[in-house]
Amino acid sequence: QLQLQESGPRLVKPSETLSLTCTVSGASIRSSSYYWGWIRQPPGQGLEWIGSIYFSGTTYYNPSLKSRVTISVDTSKNQFSLKLSSVTAADTAVYYCARLKGGWLQAFDYWGQGTLVTVSS
Amino acid sequence: DIQMTQSPSSLSASVGDRVTITCQASQDISYSLNWYQQTPGKAPKLLIYDASSLETGVPSRFSGSGSGTDFTFTISSLQPEDFATYYCQHYDNLPSLTFGGGTKVEIK
C-alpha cells in the first residue's frame, strides 16, 4: 500500500524559508509511471498546486510561485522535498504531498495526510 | 491562464437526493478534468479522472461527464458519507494544474 508522509517544521518565521520533505513508502519513487507533487490549502480555502517533480529531477512549478519554489528528489531515501523562500503569512497553509497518475501531471491519486505550516514571528 | 469556475459554491441536500455540480473552463480543455472529494481534516480523494473515468474503488453513484468547456459531476443518490467539499481540477501540457473553487455539500 502506497503511503506518503510530510515532515518538517510547523512554524516558520516571515522572510525565512519553508522546508518540507515527503517520504514515500510502499513503492519506489523511481517508477517511470509517476510524477510527484506538492499542493497547499490555506485554512478555510481551496487547493493550489505548487509544483511537481519526476525521479530524474525534472521539475514543473506553478508560475505564481515559481520564483520562490524549489522541489528536489532524493531517490536513495525515496523522498522528495519542497523549499519555499521569503515566506509571509499568506503562505500559512496545510501542505500536502501527492503522487500524480497518468505518466504526466494529470491527477493526484495518492496523498499524504498533510501538515499545517504556520508563518508567524 | 485557464480559469476553472465551479458552481454552486455550496448546496444543501438530503440523503437520497441527486446532486449535480458544474465546472466551467475559460477555454476548451478537451477531457482534461478531474474531480475530488475532501472531508474536514482529510486530504482530497480522487473520484473521477479524465472527465468521466471512475477511479478504482470509488462507488458507482459518483459520475462525471462533459468535454470542452462544460463539465458535470453527479452523485446519483447522496449518502451520509458524501457530505463533503468537492473540487474540480484541470491539467494541461504547459504544464499547469488548476483547481476549481470547491463546492461544499451540506445536510439539508
For the cut 80, the answer to whether the pLDDT of residue A16 exceeds it is yes
Q: So what's the pLDDT on residue B96?
A: 87
* Residues of chain A contacting residue B34, judged by C-beta atoms under 8 Å apart: 106-107
Average pLDDT, chain A: 95
Mean pLDDT in residue range A85-92: 98
* CB atoms A109 and B95 under 8 Å: no
Q: How confident is the model at residue B52 (pLDDT cuts 50, 70, 90)?
A: very high
pLDDT band at B93 (very low <50, low <70, confident <90, very high): confident
Any A CB within 8 A of B100 CB: yes
Q: What is the pLDDT of residue B1?
A: 82
CA distance A22 to chain B (A): 14
Nearest to B46 among A46, A107, A114 (CB): A107
pLDDT at A102: 79
With a CB cutoff of 8 Å and minimum separation 6, the contacts of B2 are B25, B26, B27, B29, B90, B92, B96, B98
pLDDT at A103: 77
Tell me how many degrees the CA angle B94-B100-B105 measures, rounded to the nearest 5: 155
Give me the pLDDT at residue A59, please. Answer: 94
Tell me which residue of A40, A5, A26, A30 sits closest to A111, measured CA to CA: A5
B41: distance to nearest CA of chain A, Å? Answer: 9
Q: Smallest Cα–Cα separation from A82: which of A20, A4, A10?
A: A20
H runs (alpha helix) in A1-121: none
Main-chain dihedrals φ then ψ at residue B100, nearest 5 degrees: -75, 175
Tell me what pLDDT residue A32 has: 74
Number of other residues whose CB lies within 10 A of the CB of residue A61 = 20
Chain A residues with beta carbon closer than 8 angstroms to that of B91: 104-107
Residue A79 near residue A98, CB atoms below 8 Å: no
Burial class (CB in 10 A: 0-12, 13-18, 19+), A57: exposed
CA distance B97 to chain A (A): 6
pLDDT at B95: 83
User: Tell me, what's the pLDDT at A105?
Assistant: 81
Q: How far apart are the first and last CA of chain A?
A: 39
Question: Residue B92 has what pLDDT?
Answer: 87
pLDDT band at A11 (very low <50, low <70, confident <90, very high): very high
Which residues of chain B have a CB within 8 Å of the CB of A101?
Answer: 46, 49
Using CB atoms, which residue from B91, B97, B99 is nearest to A46?
B99
Judged against a pLDDT cut of 90, whether residue B33 lies above it is answered with: yes
Tell me which chain A residues have a C-beta less than 8 angstroms from the C-beta of B101: 46
